A = this chain, B = another copy of it.
Amino acid sequence: MADGPAFHRLGVDLRRTQLLELGERLFTTHAYTELSMSAIAREAGISKALLYHYFPSKQAYFEATLHNAVEDLRVRTAPDPSLAPAVQLQRSLDAYLAWIEEHADAYTHLLRTAREVAEVRALVEGVRQSTAARILQALPGDPPPAARTAVRGWLWFMDGACLDWIEERDVDREALRELLLGTLAGALLAAGARLPDVDPDT
């Protein structure tokens, strides 16, 4: 067998990736307290010992699953700096909403868990803060303090609107995106801030 270190390494990474995908399904369809490492190993079709080899505890497994989902979201919504700020935001929003559509259960579960688990709350809050900073940096001139309030409020708006969207399923993704963009523009103008130009050449 040509099972050298490189091949073995790939096997380990693949297994870890599969376990993280399984984790997303398990943690969004079961309550955290309901799941045991035995049940997880059984679902994965591996021994409990092997599962512990990858993740030292259920909490570590949960956190790795969560970070994996957030990292996936972060990569997919990363803005393209060669585009104008308004276009970057539109593209990022598209990717964000597509991710939510694909992972509706995980998304609602994430927001629900964020209420209950301090670590998840810190993660969600961290994503909110970096997004807020990115939007504020793209504003021309010297935005007033109320612009910060507007952007932070808007990130809450997004969560509330997305939860409604997933629950009711009677609004197109494009309509939701336009609602989000229009609301942000309205909030920034009401805060006395100037909007960035949509033309990438200015």
**Can you list 14 pairs linking A and B with CB atoms under 8 Å apart?**
A146-B171, A146-B176, A150-B179, A153-B157, A153-B179, A157-B183, A175-B191, A179-B187, A179-B191, A182-B189, A183-B187, A185-B190, A186-B189, A186-B190
User: A interface vs B, CB < 8 Å?
Assistant: 114-116, 121, 145-146, 148-150, 152-161, 163-165, 168, 170-171, 175-176, 178-179, 181-183, 185-187, 189-192
Copy tally for this chain in the complex stands at 2
What B residues does A160 contact at CB under 8 A? 152-157
A155 to B158, CA, bound (A): 11
Decide if B157 touches A187 in the complex (CB within 8 Å).
Answer: yes
Q: Which residues of B contact A146 (CB under 8 A)?
A: 171, 175-176, 179
Contact (Cβ within 8 A) B161 A149: yes
Known: A115-B121, A156-B159, A157-B154. A165 touches B179 (CB 8 A): no
Given A115-B115, A156-B159, CB of A164 within 8 Å of CB of B186: no
- A153 adjacent to B149 (CB under 8 Å): no
Which of B149, B158, B182 is the one whose CB lies under 8 Å from A190? B182
- Complex: A150 Cα to B182 Cα, angstroms: 10
User: Are A187 and B186 in contact (CB-based, < 8 A)?
Assistant: yes
Q: List chain B residues, Cβ under 8 A from A157.
A: 153-154, 156-157, 160, 183, 187
Besides A149-B168, A152-B164, 19 other A-B contacts (C-beta < 8 A):
A115-B115, A115-B121, A145-B168, A145-B171, A146-B175, A146-B179, A149-B161, A149-B165, A150-B179, A154-B160, A155-B160, A156-B157, A157-B157, A157-B187, A179-B187, A179-B190, A182-B189, A183-B183, A186-B190
- On chain B, the residues within 8 Å of A149 by CB distance are 161, 164-165, 168, 171, 176, 179
Q: How far is the CA of A53 from the CA of B200 in the complex (A)?
A: 70
Q: Which residues of B contact A158 (CB under 8 A)?
A: 153
